[in-house]
Structure 1
């Protein structure tokens, strides 16, 4: 992780009952939802700070980050 890196933030997709089978034991995990984009401005060994550049929904602790799709 370096200063200047741009990362996309994603909220983990919900796990719901399968609407096709209607069996309560059958579940489907929905895709992760894009929550926004952040810019890393300060890094440490085990922690980095980032500025929210764009947000399409609230971001929460333990949301996933990865390289943005082009």
Structure 2
């Protein structure tokens, strides 16, 4: 099944929403800066965006990776 195409802004907003709903992030009141997604060719899993260098993410890296 083909994945639905989303805009860069929509992807960034969805990732931000999911990150800020992580229990430890929400409990700490942390604000994680979410970078703009960078497009690339579709990979074997159907992904065609990458996001690197989240701001204020120290200590939350594993949780963010799970998003």
The answer, yes or no, to whether TM exceeds 0.5 is no
From the two aligned structures, give the one with the greater helix fraction: 2
User: Larger RCO: Structure 1 or Structure 2 (Cα < 8 Å, ≥ 6 residues apart)?
Assistant: 1
From the two aligned structures, give the one with the greater strand fraction: 1
TM-score relative to the length of structure 1:
0.37
